[in-house]
Amino acid sequence: MRRLAVFLASSDGHDPAHAHLAAGVGTELARRGIGLVYGGGRRGLMGVLADSALKAGGEVIGVMPRDMVEREWAHERVTELLMCDSMHERKALMAEHADAFIALPGGLGTLEEFFEVWSWRQLGFHTKPVGFLDAGSFWTPLLGALRGIADSGFLPVSTLDDLAVAPDLPSLLDALEHRLRGASRPAHGEDFR
């Protein structure tokens, strides 16, 4: 894996453990020589992640709509800041530049971005793996809700099983690598109807 896209909060959240997690992820990605692709923000967990990766000598690619850069939301020291015209373009550019996608704790923006790339994978538009970093069981309630949706027949169990979930970054990277080698693919299109 050359580059990993990380979706995460543009705010800090209430628990300092989240910032600690984001800092650890940035440092570990840099240590492994995996480039970070993220939304380009300087605030919240996004800023903590980028700062820690840069501090450890890693490559950091931020992708942000011009409008948000003009509002001074962008991180000023990333390796490369790719500017675009819309949130749609931002997500497409992030997807283009990354080999896999993960979500750290976050809110609506994080969920929206993550679910879009996951649904693209389900539809077979790309084969890049997706995963939740479930540190502190942050995503466990959402995973329970998704299991309920699968039980109702609206989410293929193969899609749910295809999601990599791990409590720490090294385990999550292992699960993503496993999927990158083609060991796990979601059924898509006609296959799951």
Binding site for ligand AMP (CB under 6 A): 9-11, 39, 41, 43, 73, 106-110
Structural element, H or E, at residue 114: helix 108-122
Query: To the nearest whole angstrom, how small is the minimum distance from the Cβ of residue 15 to ligand AMP?
Result: 15
Query: To the nearest whole angstrom, how small is the minimum distance from the Cβ of residue 82 to ligand AMP?
Result: 13
Specify the residue, 108 or 183, whose C-beta has the smaller distance to ligand AMP: 108
Inter-residue contact 100 to 131 (CB < 8 Å): yes
Query: To the nearest whole angstrom, how small is the minimum distance from the Cβ of residue 121 to ligand AMP?
Result: 19
Query: To the nearest whole angstrom, how small is the minimum distance from the Cβ of residue 67 to ligand AMP?
Result: 11
Measured distance CA(152)–CA(31) in Å, rounded: 42
Specify the residue, 4 or 9, whose C-beta has the smaller distance to ligand AMP: 9
Specify the residue, 5 or 179, whose C-beta has the smaller distance to ligand AMP: 5
Using Cβ positions, the residue closest to ligand AMP within the complex turns out to be 109
E strand segments, 31-115: 35-38, 60-65, 80-84, 100-103
114 CB burial (10 A radius; 0-12, 13-18, 19+):
buried
Specify the residue, 111 or 170, whose C-beta has the smaller distance to ligand AMP: 111
Give strand pairing partners of 1: none
Nearest to 97 by CA among 189, 2, 192, 193: 2
